[in-house]
Structure 1
Amino acid sequence: MAQLWTPPSRNPGRRVAQIIRLKLEFVDKYKEVHREVWPEVLKQIEDCNIHDYSIFHDPSTRILFASFKYVGSDYEGDMERLRANPKVRQWWKMTDSFQESFVPGAKSSESGQPSWWKEVEEVFYTP
């Protein structure tokens, strides 16, 4: 008897949310560079299994809130691949200079740990 083919199950994903503070003097510049994110950076984000990525800004607190869904199976490995891309590191060097981290001891996005962006806990979600 022939076995029926079943499609591989898709990873339902891990939702990630992060915050950082935007320096007041760089608000306009940060928004400007994000209107035209470099194609190499966007491609690497996609290749590292990051989907549905958004960044929000609250002008009264200058907080940037990032949210994305990770759909791969090796988060740490994919983050290392993202970090290894020279164009991504160049992008981070530029955008990190516009930001102030909430994470004690954080040096930059490139340095990895401690994380430059502070991960925040999800307390409610409805799909």
Structure 2
Amino acid sequence: MSLVRVCFTLQLKVECIEEYKHRHAAVWPEMLVTLKAAGWHNYSLFLRPDGLLIGYFETTSLHQAQAQMAATDVNARWQADMAGFFEDLDGAPDEDFAQLDEVFNLEDQLAALAPAPNHFTTKGD
């Protein structure tokens, strides 16, 4: 199973930062389980003091992971609850984010440097 890395940004309203952090200190257990089941792996959020939110997760398919979440009641409730925290949203926070292009990954470049395994041996090896 090959995972793609997804990184995105959203802008929090500065006056909402502390409440946003408070709510994410203990996300609803049902939401946590649903995210994992929908294929959101290694999911993290990072926040700057000015409200810039950076999200990162790994999944087999961004479209499929978003579609699976969109089909759940817990996600509809969570997104409605979170929508007021953000500036300039035209949709749900988990679908209206600005996705970033990955330009460097250490592990990918190191793997590209490694020689292909040699499965042939010669006498005396």
Whole-Å separation in 2 of the counterparts to 1:85 and 1:123:
33
1:126 is aligned to 106
Which residue of the other structure, out of 41, 64, 85, is the alignment partner of 1:77?
Answer: 64
Give aligned pairs, total.
107
SS for the counterpart of 2:70 is helix
Higher Rg of the two aligned structures: 2
Identify unmatched segments of 5+ residues in structure 2. Answer: 108-125
Whole-Å separation in 2 of the counterparts to 1:86 and 1:126:
38
Name the Cα RMSD after superposition: 1.7
Which residue of the other structure, out of 33, 48, 53, is the alignment partner of 2:38?
Answer: 48
Q: Give the ranges of 4+ consecutive aligned residues of structure 1 lying more than 3 Å apart after TM superposition.
A: none
2:3 is aligned to 13
**What percent identity do the matched residue pairs reach?**
25
* TM-score, with structure 1 as normaliser: 0.76
The C-alpha deviation readout for 1:41-80, integer Å capped at 9, x for no partner, is 1111111111100000011x3200000010x3x5423321
> Are residues 1:90 and 2:77 paired?
yes
Larger helix fraction of residues: 2
Whole-Å separation in 1 of the counterparts to 2:10 and 2:65:
21
2:90 is aligned to 107
Whole-Å separation in 2 of the counterparts to 1:29 and 1:89:
19
